[in-house]
Structure 1
């Protein structure tokens, strides 16, 4: 069974192509989009999970294809979080793209796709 998923691409000029399908990307696809070595993506993903910034159960899926190929994919929320851990030109272009989308029209409410679960977002002792 295959999962319909979109892959973000970023050109050398910094143009971001956002797919219409839900974004789920492999670490290699993130590495290609942000033009960094895979070790930088792995390190960022590991740090995000270790620090409890995102939950693995919400942002990671294991895909099994009919042809026997299996791999992990990560949600748009993880792709955005990873982009903030990197310093490359493509990650900066992506962050500008995301911020531009969020501030496009200040009069209309923005759907961020994200929600905090009750266990996240609370300070210790609250």
Structure 2
């Protein structure tokens, strides 16, 4: 699986690769300058609140040398960035919002697909 990781420099410059972004928890931890437990807590909260689905955002990767690990999609990386409050996560959020606003007057088509149970909370 060819995958890229996002990097954020000390001055807040965000670099996104041209290949699909899939990052490990440790890579997110390094990019956003937080401990691994903060990344795990954010991911757990995202899944618990059904903001994203595991089936859409996580892949299990096995390398030829026998090493295997979980990687998370760009959608999860963005969601995690919005759960954190570090200089790096704020720089990344500004980058994402800047890319969305870069269209100027062009309309942005965002399609969301909610299953009937996905948008409901317990007790509703």
User: Normalized against structure 1, the TM-score is what?
Assistant: 0.89
* Aligned twin of 1:19: 17
Instruction: Quote the Cα distance in structure 2 between the aligned partners of 1:35 and 1:119.
Output: 37
Residues 33 and 88, structure 2, Cα contact 8 Å, conserved in 1:
yes
1:97 corresponds to 2:95: yes
* Aligned twin of 1:116: 113
Range 99-108 or range 64-73, more displaced: 99-108
User: Normalized against structure 2, the TM-score is what?
Assistant: 0.90
Per-residue deviation, 1:106: 2.2
1:46 corresponds to 2:44: yes
1:5 is paired with a residue of what secondary structure? coil
* Aligned twin of 2:33: 35
Per-residue deviation, 1:121: 6.2
Change over 3 Å in CA distance of 1:65–1:98 after alignment to 2: same
Instruction: Quote the Cα distance in structure 1 between the aligned partners of 2:119 and 2:46.
Output: 17
2:40 is paired with a residue of what secondary structure? helix
**Uncovered stretches (5+) of structure 2, i.e. residues with no partner:** none
Number of aligned positions between the proteins: 123
Change over 3 Å in CA distance of 1:93–1:120 after alignment to 2: farther
